[in-house]
A and B are shown apart, each in its own frame.
Chain A
Amino acid sequence: MSADYADLCSAILEQCFGKVVQSVADCLFSATTRTLSQIVSSTNFSRKEVGLALSVLIKFRLVNFEPSKSNAYLPEYSLRREDVICLLRYSRYIHLVQSKYGNVGASIAEELLNSGSDTATSILLKCLSNGENKSETAESYKNILLKMIADHYIIKSPELITSEEGDDLVPRFLTNECDFFVPPIIDLQLLAKIQKGESTLSNAQDSAMVWHLNYDRFHQEFRDDIMKIAIERKLGENAAECFRFILNIMYNTTDPWQRRVSNQVTYVEIKQTIERKSNNLDLLKHLDQYIALITDDSLGFLRKVGDMGGGQYVVDMESSFESLAFACVESVITERFGSKAARIFRVIRFKKFIEQEDLQKEAMIPAKEAKSLAYNLFQEQFIHVKVIKKAGGGGSGPAKAFYLFQIKTKDTVRMLLDVCYKALYNIIRRSNFEKSEHKGLIEKSQRLDSIVETMKERGESEDYIAEIVETFTPPECEILNKVKHRIKTLSKAELTLDDTIFLLQMYQHHCTTLPTGIQKFK
């Protein structure tokens, strides 16, 4: 966790939940755990405000609480720092659900994201009353919801343990792995009654079962997409399809977030699955060749480990994401320092350790230019220098030492990730700035729009409406369009930037032992 990430989290939380939540979260970010009174004293908000902020954060599963070790009546709060950035991915989550389950699924996901976590009945109720898809029945909403649970996109939150020892104790939760995706019982008749106002939500049977989106499942989908696209770009569509099947088979036996390599998959399994599910004749005909192709490729996605069952393979997540993360680092270097610098970077990566003189010979770049590029890369921490001192310089004469360039892969990636966080923070800040700078104008146009809307409903004459619209002068209109364009560009950049962040985070998960946001079922 870097200072850049702290800034970013703070900005995201301010954007989503406002100032109070922001400062409470800031206070929690800097500490492992804090008690309520500690937060109150350091933020200067009232106890009530802080309590409210905490409850919002808990509802959105951004804060955990546990009884203090010394006092079972005193809760200690901690921030789930890694999850804060997921708030920015909401549009991607909804997009994914929409492509899989259509509009109904999208509105379920949207309601769930808006409320953080909720009971099944309440979600359905909200979706139905929102009424974006009037034609859909409660039945179809229910079916899609159950399907999303079965596909692990929605997960049950741990249930509260009701204890008899007393109500003052800090509440505890029961985490039961078998229970995460058990479908809830939804009473459609009751739902209809509540809709008509004949009953209340508290009568629903599932009021104790709270559901939320399972981010990991979405991230798994994003990760697979990255890998499939990489294969498609390098080896073509058929190979990508083949790899998609391999991943599906892999998930039968492997925890999706196993860090380095997957469990084994045999050739026979792959063949059978593809024969059953695919009608791509070319793929079926050359299946062994496609597998050999993916195995031999320098990306190192697939590795052969044995001959059982026509050949045993493992999906090598570590080498996959190392190749992909470095493809990303290399393109950043190309854009920032030029293609010659990228060449130097690759030379160092291939050679592991290399001296300045050999570097320029290997890269075929004139000495002066190579030196300046290498030193630039070093200054920006893309590459590092290892000094090997020869024994016995003894202070007399020049010290004898070898300066070897090398790449500390983890450091380089982390540095780039921090740059991404900073860039994202800058986007949010700039976007807020643009909005506040032209606040008057934006509000005016919104007011005008709503006035015109009501006038149209009342059926006023066209001339009169046009007259009202004209109060918004052309120069104002021009500025507004410019600002809108800027904000649009910024939010687009926010999304594409998150792709880079996600890729680098995957590198950290699969290639290092650093703690990452992914736990097996959070």
Chain B
Amino acid sequence: MAAEVAQLLLSVIQGIPGGATNDDLTKALSDMPAATRVEGLNILLQQGGIEVLKKGEKLIYRAKDPQKKSALPKDADNEEKIVYSIVEEGGNKGIWIRDIRIKSNLNMTQLNKILKNLETKKLIKAVKSVNASKKKVYMLYNLEADRSVTGGAWYQDQDFEVEFVDVLNQQCLRFLQMKRETAEKKRDGPLAFKQMSCCSVKDVHKFISDLGISKVNLDEDDLETILKTVVYDGNAERILQSDGAYVYRAVNMPLPAPGLVQMPCGICPVIKNCSDCGDVTAINCQYMKDWLD
């Protein structure tokens, strides 16, 4: 009897997508006494079929998405449900354990137990953030962590992959230089040469994908960051096209190595302390001695 009432109520509530108020229910099921209705609603709430929201002074009953509901097993208790929903709200950015505690108002030991429970059931997972290595965030098991948490393609676990970036940097530069060299061979005038030596991010992306040096899938944005580092190394130029996109081309340094760095003083780490007296002087300088002999 009670289950039938619950089904009836659920179908009414599902019929109103914005959620049904008490008035809606009395109107739709005018023959049902208030006590039976309350009993039915309670059953639904317990099963997790609906949720109660407050709009102004009125209570609204809304049907829950059956897909979401199915993730949580039937035997989960109330605390687990609450924690699960908090984690769910966090989305793919994850949520920190302290924030869960504050939101759920549970004590630490209990919360730890629940989280562990949910983890073993493979409902949620803990992900280490790259920004703060000790900070663990929780998110639903089936979600892919956001780039701000994992750091994108450049992070393996939480470690920045220096070698990987360096290799890509070198390969991008090699590609740009190759392009420049092939352009140099054709003699079609200076502007044509310049245009031919320019590469779009797409070209570079194709080259890198064909090389197969990367296990991870790199998109064009990733390569744009790499190309920027090539520019920051002073080996390439970034040129704005008329359509708003950027192209890249390898360039030479405008100056030969300056005279200053051809002698030890230019690269001396203690040049600040160097003077006529004291321990650092031009006369007893070890760098100078090594250089002259």
Binding site for B on A (CB under 8 A): 7, 229-231, 233-236, 238-239, 285-286, 289-290, 292-293, 298-299, 323-324, 327-328, 330-332, 335-336, 339, 342-343, 346-347, 350, 362-367, 369, 380, 416, 419-420, 422-423, 425-427, 429-430, 433, 482, 485-486, 489-490, 493, 495-500, 503
Q: B207 at interface (Cβ–Cβ under 8 A)?
A: no
Asked if residues B255 and A324 are in contact (CB atoms below 8 Å), the reply is: yes
5 CB contacts below 8 A, A to B, read: A234-B251, A336-B261, A364-B169, A433-B283, A496-B263
Q: Interface with A: B67-75, B82-90, B212-220, B232-240, which one?
A: B232-240
Give the docked Cα–Cα distance between A142 and B208 (Å). Answer: 68
Interface members, chain B 187-229 (any A CB < 8 Å): 189-191, 194, 225-226, 228-229
- Of A289, A369, A419, A433, the residue contacting B271 (CB under 8 A) is A419
- Secondary structure dominating the interface of B: helix
Decide yes or no: A331 and B257 within 8 Å by CB, A364-B154, A429-B282, A489-B292 being known contacts. yes
Q: B265 at interface (Cβ–Cβ under 8 A)?
A: yes
Decide yes or no: A328 and B251 within 8 Å by CB, A289-B190, A486-B292 being known contacts. no
Asked if residues B252 and A234 are in contact (CB atoms below 8 Å), the reply is: yes
Asked if residues A332 and B261 are in contact (CB atoms below 8 Å), the reply is: yes
- Of A233, A363, A419, A499, the residue contacting B252 (CB under 8 A) is A233
Starting from the known contacts A230-B254, A369-B162, A433-B282, 10 additional A-B residue pairs (CB-CB under 8 Å) come to: A7-B276, A233-B255, A234-B252, A239-B190, A327-B255, A335-B257, A335-B266, A426-B288, A429-B282, A486-B293
- Of B189, B253, B276, B282, the residue contacting A331 (CB under 8 A) is B253
Asked if residues B282 and A496 are in contact (CB atoms below 8 Å), the reply is: no
The residue in chain B whose Cβ has the minimal distance to the Cβ of A367 is B160
Give the docked Cα–Cα distance between A298 and B256 (Å). Answer: 17
Asked if residues B190 and A328 are in contact (CB atoms below 8 Å), the reply is: no
Decide yes or no: A422 and B265 within 8 Å by CB, A293-B190, A324-B254, A330-B234 being known contacts. yes
Q: B258 at interface (Cβ–Cβ under 8 A)?
A: yes
Asked if residues A426 and B190 are in contact (CB atoms below 8 Å), the reply is: no
Shortest 9 CB-CB distances between A and B: which pairs? A496-B259, A423-B265, A426-B282, A230-B254, A335-B261, A366-B160, A289-B191, A497-B259, A500-B260
The residue in chain A whose Cβ has the minimal distance to the Cβ of B191 is A289
Give the docked Cα–Cα distance between A347 and B263 (Å). Answer: 27
The residue in chain A whose Cβ has the minimal distance to the Cβ of B160 is A366
Asked if residues B233 and A422 are in contact (CB atoms below 8 Å), the reply is: no
Give the docked Cα–Cα distance between A336 and B253 (Å). Answer: 18
Q: B165 at interface (Cβ–Cβ under 8 A)?
A: yes
| Residues of chain B lying within 8 A (CB to CB) of residue A369 | 162
| Residues of chain B lying within 8 A (CB to CB) of residue A427 | 263, 265, 282
Give the docked Cα–Cα distance between A367 and B194 (Å). Answer: 36
| Residues of chain B lying within 8 A (CB to CB) of residue A285 | 189
| Residues of chain A lying within 8 A (CB to CB) of residue B263 | 423, 427, 493, 496-497
Q: B105 at interface (Cβ–Cβ under 8 A)?
A: no
